[in-house]
Chains A and B, each alone.
Chain A
Amino acid sequence: MDKPLTLKSNRTLQITYNLPISRTSKFWEGLKEGKIYATKCEKCGRLHFPPVADCGECGSSNMKWIELDGEGEIETFTQVVVKPASFSKESSYIVAIARLKEGVKALAWLIGVEREDVEVGMKVRLVARVTSDGRVAYEFVPI
């Protein structure tokens, strides 16, 4: 079969989104101070992580900030070997989901451990981190 003919588009798009974080700014500010905050609904008591400004459970917008201890236990994990385009410069990374002792769960990279040594049930701590390129984020480290 002949090689299919295609026309390469000349119009290239590069998209960078601006993500509004005004209503959860304390969370992002907290990361820079090494703290991890969740929000707790003043009306129904539901603890939200990732934090939210409005409670989808009861409809209230009356939230208070709670600092999380960060200690938790891995429920599941994977190691991403084939990476998406915008992560192409990273080496393979482990992503874990852990339940924190406050009851909420978090998804984040697990660092400082080889995949072969990771187990379901492993104790970890969620810690704030500012990356070398200035991004604020958080990650799990083994306890």
Chain B
Amino acid sequence: MGHSRFGDRSDVNLSELTFEAVQPSLEESGLTAKEIPYVAVGSMGVWSEEPLPAVVIAEYCGLTGAGLVRCEAACASGSAAAFTAYSAIASGQMESALVVGAEKMRQIDTPTVLEMIGRAGYYLWEFENFGMTFPAYYAVHAVQHMEKYGTTEEDLALVAVKNHRYGAMNPLSHLQHEITVEKVLGSSVIAWPLKLYDCCPITDGAAALVLASEEKVKELGVEAPVWIEAIGYSSDTANLSKRENYVGLEASVRASRMAYKLAGISPKDVDVATVHDCFTIAEIMAYEDLGFCEKGEGARMIREGETEVDGRIPVNIDGGLKAKGHPIGTTGVSMLAELTKQLREEVKPRRRQAPMKNYTALAHNTGGTGHYGYVTILRR
């Protein structure tokens, strides 16, 4: 497992950034680059100059010759890459594989980034004439959630405050400062009712994981391996107008139910979770969609501190997308890397380490506006 520092990483190019994650992951696994049979790369890549990020990364990291693919599931590309590698190993095709998340988003200007992501709904029906942006896609969810369940702008702000607090404890995090509810509420409107501090930043970052079969893990003598217990997946309509409601993401509901069933667990068995908080409302909806609480109870969970490190289910205690940052294709891999550290109980500082009862962790990774849904259960 390897993880670059997230942030404005204009000091390195895409390959150099990815090397920061790949090299430690290989060293830790005991495998060399030449021994890796297959590499699955999660990357959107439209904001940096290389249209085939996987091939330049593989060449730079000495992985040329391995089977190679770039996986696209928008903001869930990293989970799609993990699923690709996991399936290849589980099917017996190979004994190990490398999962990489790589994204450099800060090589172009902000309006163009908004343009690229805004186009990633249903271009013809939502962007061409209507200029939807990603904050806007989530804002329409916030409006309906607030209308139906009484969730408030203050509740949304509490998510940002929590995640910034943990982000400030995480040296790999993009945003390292704590904020207040007042600061969130006073920040400029991006897409009403979402304000600047309701939105994740535009971030560069890379992460990598080596996956291996049980036999390979034994052969390598890995201490304290972390296992992928299950990966659940689903999707939803491209057009937002074709969905029944905007108070949650059905793909998250379906993917999580599938993951729980495959792993033979229920939400109450989860010791720690990372959820896809690209916007503050997304974290509140995730609590509900993943079954951490009843529908409509998400705001209560954040108000009552149930998702703090010492709460009932600690969520995004690495800073989340909100503060750690959201390098699109990297996020899913970054979540699994963070949860691996949590399960190994090696998080520093210790006040960011979740207490382990069942040694079970959950990663929830959404692509687009709930277009792609992946939920991964890890266990030690």
Asked whether A97 lies within 8 Å of B189 as measured between CB atoms, the reply is no
Q: A4-B11, A83-B114 are in contact. Are A77 and B143 (CB under 8 A)?
A: yes
Asked whether A82 lies within 8 Å of B240 as measured between CB atoms, the reply is no
Interface range, B side: 35 or more
- For the complex, what is the distance from the CA of A107 to the CA of B109, rounded to whole Å? 28
- For the complex, what is the distance from the CA of A79 to the CA of B119, rounded to whole Å? 17
In the complex, per-residue mask of B103-146: 1 if CB is within 8 Å of any chain A CB, else 0 = 00001010110110011000011111111110110011101100
Asked whether A76 lies within 8 Å of B126 as measured between CB atoms, the reply is no
Asked whether B240 lies within 8 Å of A78 as measured between CB atoms, the reply is no
Asked whether A97 lies within 8 Å of B240 as measured between CB atoms, the reply is yes
Asked whether B241 lies within 8 Å of A19 as measured between CB atoms, the reply is no
- For the complex, what is the distance from the CA of A105 to the CA of B133, rounded to whole Å? 19
Interface of B with A (CB < 8 Å)? 10-11, 49, 107, 109, 111-112, 114-115, 118-119, 124-133, 135-136, 139-141, 143-144, 147, 188-194, 239-242, 245-246
- Chain B residue nearest to A104 (CB atoms) is B241
Select which of B124, B140, B239, B242 is within 8 A of A78 by beta carbon: B140
Asked whether A19 lies within 8 Å of B124 as measured between CB atoms, the reply is yes
Asked whether A120 lies within 8 Å of B143 as measured between CB atoms, the reply is yes
Asked whether A6 lies within 8 Å of B136 as measured between CB atoms, the reply is no
B-chain residues with CB within 8 Å of residue A120 when the two chains form the complex:
143-144, 147
Asked whether A90 lies within 8 Å of B131 as measured between CB atoms, the reply is yes
Asked whether A83 lies within 8 Å of B131 as measured between CB atoms, the reply is yes
- Chain B residue nearest to A83 (CB atoms) is B131
Asked whether A50 lies within 8 Å of B112 as measured between CB atoms, the reply is no
In the complex, per-residue mask of A1-23: 1 if CB is within 8 Å of any chain B CB, else 0 = 00010100100000000010000
Q: A78-B136, A78-B140, A120-B143 are in contact. Are A86 and B240 (CB under 8 A)?
A: no
Asked whether A107 lies within 8 Å of B239 as measured between CB atoms, the reply is yes
Q: A82-B133, A84-B133, A108-B130 are in contact. Are A95 and B239 (CB under 8 A)?
A: no
In the complex, per-residue mask of A80-107: 1 if CB is within 8 Å of any chain B CB, else 0 = 1111111110100101010000001111
Asked whether A83 lies within 8 Å of B241 as measured between CB atoms, the reply is no
21 sampled A-B residue pairs with Cβ under 8 A: A4-B11, A9-B49, A50-B239, A50-B241, A76-B141, A76-B144, A76-B147, A79-B189, A80-B133, A80-B191, A81-B191, A81-B192, A82-B133, A82-B135, A82-B188, A82-B191, A84-B112, A85-B114, A93-B131, A135-B129, A138-B129
Select which of B10, B125, B189 is within 8 A of A50 by beta carbon: B125
- For the complex, what is the distance from the CA of A104 to the CA of B246, rounded to whole Å? 15
A-chain residues with CB within 8 Å of residue B130 when the two chains form the complex:
93, 95, 107-109
Q: A69 an interface residue at 8 Å Cβ cutoff? A: no
B-chain residues with CB within 8 Å of residue A135 when the two chains form the complex:
129
- For the complex, what is the distance from the CA of A85 to the CA of B191, rounded to whole Å? 15
B-chain residues with CB within 8 Å of residue A87 when the two chains form the complex:
131
Asked whether B192 lies within 8 Å of A78 as measured between CB atoms, the reply is yes
Asked whether A80 lies within 8 Å of B136 as measured between CB atoms, the reply is yes
Interface of A with B (CB < 8 Å)? 4, 6, 9, 19, 49-50, 75-88, 90, 93, 95, 97, 104-109, 115, 120, 135, 137-138
Select which of A88, A95, A105, A108 is within 8 A of B136 by beta carbon: A95
Other than the given A78-B140, A95-B136, 5 more pairs (CB < 8 A) read: A49-B241, A75-B246, A79-B191, A83-B114, A104-B241
A-chain residues with CB within 8 Å of residue B136 when the two chains form the complex:
78, 80, 95
- For the complex, what is the distance from the CA of A108 to the CA of B139, rounded to whole Å? 15
- For the complex, what is the distance from the CA of A19 to the CA of B246, rounded to whole Å? 29
- For the complex, what is the distance from the CA of A94 to the CA of B330, rounded to whole Å? 32
B-chain residues with CB within 8 Å of residue A137 when the two chains form the complex:
129
User: How distant is A5 from chain B, measured CB to nearest CB, in Å?
Assistant: 9
- For the complex, what is the distance from the CA of A23 to the CA of B192, rounded to whole Å? 36
User: How distant is A37 from chain B, measured CB to nearest CB, in Å?
Assistant: 14
B-chain residues with CB within 8 Å of residue A50 when the two chains form the complex:
124-125, 239, 241
User: How distant is A102 from chain B, measured CB to nearest CB, in Å?
Assistant: 13
User: How distant is B71 from chain A, measured CB to nearest CB, in Å?
Assistant: 24
- Chain B residue nearest to A93 (CB atoms) is B131
Select which of B114, B128, B246 is within 8 A of A76 by beta carbon: B246
- For the complex, what is the distance from the CA of A71 to the CA of B48, rounded to whole Å? 44
- Chain B residue nearest to A3 (CB atoms) is B10
Asked whether B144 lies within 8 Å of A81 as measured between CB atoms, the reply is no
- Chain B residue nearest to A17 (CB atoms) is B123
Asked whether A80 lies within 8 Å of B132 as measured between CB atoms, the reply is yes
Asked whether B125 lies within 8 Å of A86 as measured between CB atoms, the reply is no
- Chain A residue nearest to B107 (CB atoms) is A6
Asked whether A95 lies within 8 Å of B140 as measured between CB atoms, the reply is yes
A-chain residues with CB within 8 Å of residue B140 when the two chains form the complex:
76-78, 95, 97
Q: A76-B140, A97-B246 are in contact. Are A106 and B241 (CB under 8 A)?
A: yes
- For the complex, what is the distance from the CA of A108 to the CA of B132, rounded to whole Å? 10
